[in-house]
Structure 1
């Protein structure tokens, strides 16, 4: 992990760096870490580290073990089923709402994110693809008009991301891009039924791939 030096509020900086460390694999699921050691590596006191970790604990990403430290939690099959069950409940109807939406700003953001995904796919840049994928889904949900749904899905996606599970072990970035193209085109054309069907198919396929892979080696997530 890297020392923190910028002007963002300290707890937020610690939170962001810890999440990035999870995504990079520096903080691994199942392992126990010392709050003191994390503080030393970041060059900050234990208080902001503990506050940031408490935030992760509220998301179900870590657990504190008395007199030992903090453990990065591993996702179980039930966790994956539950997280994707939540996403299906929220995102399928939201896709239809987005297709009917007149929120041009969010729809433009979704379109720009998709174009960026195309560029990242062409460059074989999975990390950039993942970032734009997150923006794509978030903009779609915000276009549907419910920020609470967008925030809930972002948290659910975050729980999968930090596990570093990957659908790209069994499908290429190009295949993932085409799944998103179907969603993008349906929303942009105002086809509510097709938008919902495309999102449902995407989430169901992603869930099934991750359930099949969850016992295998971890990698970075694209969903």
Structure 2
């Protein structure tokens, strides 16, 4: 076995040095390696799963197919050596073996799905696709100028997010926010964020308080400038900073998911029920109480803020068949909310 001659070395457009090595005359060809067998089996499995997905989109998640494609990559690198082609990247270059055509196609397909998902989500949030409207996969594919497969995959992910419902033989219906949705979300937020505010008042460091005050200043500046986007970012960051003091990542993830489950469906009180100054005014006493190490006041003001927000959202979402609850809807939770040490009763 040796180099194949003067043309055995070449440099690709990407700067890779490729050395071709050939088996000498009279040397029996190598039998199929285990790496080759593994790659063949993996590729066959990917093809089968892609076929199954096309025939029945719910049978297999695309992540499984993509995962198998990338798990096959190390096997293909082994196969490169069995074919006696060894590539050396230039100094300082990415030393990963370039992906095969199949891997590139799979990566492009995932990227297309992500783009479709982002586009559909934006259409829902902007109101271009209003709540209750029905859309076919064919129409969406034509609208976005892509094939039906990435649209189908994106729709399944939107359904997982609660933004759409899939109606058999009809299409995709855009979900709105119901009174029940809002109440369910905010009851859970109350059970997490009210105790978290009390805990933050008792355990926040001086740095934590400075971060909260900085986010509050950010909300104030954004309100003055009329910058709704920046205001929303600082609002969310303030709540996340309070939750971070608790140090429970699972609780933080749950709160983030609960917020998203409402906001990604276009539900907001901003400029519908109240403006930025009113929302800012509900956050000031929360931060003030935490800075003063007053756990009872922090819990009370957080509860008032969440109940106020939820009540306004439920009033917006109310219909004759799904009316908003009467005031005091959150009272049943109060005995189970955090009671700071030394407090005789839950916050009133």
Gaps of 5+ in 1: 1-6, 217-223
Q: RMSD in angstroms over aligned alpha carbons?
A: 2.8
Q: CA deviation at 1:48?
A: 4.0
Query: Distance in 2 between the 1:180 and 1:103 partners?
Result: 19
Cα gap change, 1:48 to 1:174, in 2 (>3 Å):
same
Query: Contact 1:77 / 1:211 at 8 angstroms: preserved in 2?
Result: yes
> Per-residue CA shift, 1:141-162, capped at 9, x if unaligned?
2232112122212222122213
Is 1:208 the counterpart of 2:311? The answer is yes
Identify the match of residue 27 of structure 1 among 102, 114, 129.
Answer: 129
3-state SS, counterpart of residue 177 of structure 2: coil
Query: Contact 1:113 / 1:136 at 8 angstroms: preserved in 2?
Result: yes
Partner residue in 2 for 1:96: 198
Partner residue in 1 for 2:161: 59
Query: Distance in 2 between the 1:103 and 1:45 partners?
Result: 53
Partner residue in 2 for 1:150: 252
Cα gap change, 1:49 to 1:103, in 2 (>3 Å):
farther
- TM-score, normalised with respect to structure 1: 0.78
Query: Distance in 2 between the 1:140 and 1:52 partners?
Result: 34
Query: Contact 1:107 / 1:143 at 8 angstroms: preserved in 2?
Result: no
Cα gap change, 1:78 to 1:48, in 2 (>3 Å):
same
Q: CA deviation at 1:171?
A: 2.4
Identify the match of residue 301 of structure 2 among 177, 181, 198.
Answer: 198
Q: For 1:45-84, what aligned pairs fall within 5 Å after superposition?
A: 45-84=147-186
Query: Distance in 1 between the 2:171 and 2:299 partners?
Result: 43
Partner residue in 2 for 1:175: 278
Q: CA deviation at 1:103?
A: 6.7
Partner residue in 2 for 1:3: none
Query: Distance in 2 between the 1:189 and 1:113 partners?
Result: 17
Q: CA deviation at 1:22?
A: 2.5
Q: CA deviation at 1:105?
A: 7.1
Larger deviation: 125-134 or 77-86?
Answer: 125-134
- TM-score, normalised with respect to structure 2: 0.53
Q: CA deviation at 1:98?
A: 2.5
With CA pairs under 8 Å and 6+ residues apart, which has the higher RCO, 1 or 2? Answer: 1
Query: Contact 2:268 / 2:313 at 8 angstroms: preserved in 1?
Result: yes
Cα gap change, 1:69 to 1:185, in 2 (>3 Å):
same
Gaps of 5+ in 2: 1-107, 320-348
Cα gap change, 1:117 to 1:78, in 2 (>3 Å):
same
Partner residue in 2 for 1:114: 216
What number of residue pairs does the alignment pair up? 209
Q: CA deviation at 1:110?
A: 4.1
Partner residue in 2 for 1:221: none
> Per-residue CA shift, 1:150-191, capped at 9, x if unaligned?
221222212221333332333221111011111222233332
Partner residue in 1 for 2:289: 186
Query: Distance in 1 between the 2:138 and 2:214 partners?
Result: 42
Query: Distance in 2 between the 1:26 and 1:147 partners?
Result: 35
> Per-residue CA shift, 1:18-61, capped at 9, x if unaligned?
33332222232211223344445555544444334323322322
Q: CA deviation at 1:108?
A: 5.3
Q: CA deviation at 1:109?
A: 4.9
Cα gap change, 1:173 to 1:34, in 2 (>3 Å):
same
